Amino acid sequence: MWQLLLQMALLILVSAGMQAGWLVLQAPRWVFQEGEPIHLRCHSWKNTSVHSVTYLQNGKGRRFFHHNSDYHIPKATPGYNGSYFCRGLVGKKNVSSETVNIIVQGSTSLSVSPSFLPWHQVAFCLVMVLLFAVDTGLYFSMQRKLRSSPRDWKDHKFKWSQDPQDK
């Protein structure tokens, strides 16, 4: 599916006036977490062979291959943030890919020991237990009062008044 989408995109761009033989820099995504591997591939139209491939970051050469090869970064760090493109020879033409931006985001893992929950989670659980206990106590208290109420209502006489001063 990945190659089909790429070929369709290349076909659209080539039919719109781009020259055949140009390069595309591929990656599984453009945003990575710190510590994840990054895999870049410099790909040509119809898998035409590419020679003397250079991967560039922010305009500076990062890696050179005599024959087309993928560029692997084992562990991403913020130093790998930037704009990337690849350049190479397709036949005798020196061609470059479009620039893409790669973003490496900081680590999202918590530095809390797995045996201890963060304080806000503990506080939330304690408040929920307290509210449940109070609610349950009120429920049973009201049930008890409502069961005994009909006897009290029979013996009690109510006086209704329409005048607010007759209290």
Spatial distance between the Cα atoms of 118 and 123, rounded to a whole number of angstroms: 9
pLDDT digits (tens, 9 = 90+) for 16-66: 334 444 789 999 999 999 999 999 999 887 778 899 999 999 999 999 999
pLDDT band at 15 (very low <50, low <70, confident <90, very high): very low
Same domain, 34 and 87: yes
Same domain, 91 and 25: yes
Same domain, 128 and 81: no
What backbone torsions phi and psi does residue 157 show, to the nearest 5 degrees? -110, 130
User: Is the model more confident about 6 or about 99?
Assistant: 99
Same domain, 70 and 142: no
- What CATH number should be reported for the domain holding residue 72? 2.60.40.10
Same domain, 46 and 78: yes
Q: Is residue 162 part of a domain?
A: no
Domain residue limits at 42:
12-105
Tokens of 151: 């006897």
Q: Tell me the pairing of strands 71-73 and 100-105.
A: unpaired
pLDDT in the model for residue 164:
64
Same domain, 27 and 101: yes
Spatial distance between the Cα atoms of 73 and 110, rounded to a whole number of angstroms: 24
Residue of 96, 74, 77 whose CA lies nearest to 85: 96
Q: Kindly tell me if the per-residue pLDDT of 108 is higher than 80.
A: no
pLDDT band at 166 (very low <50, low <70, confident <90, very high): low
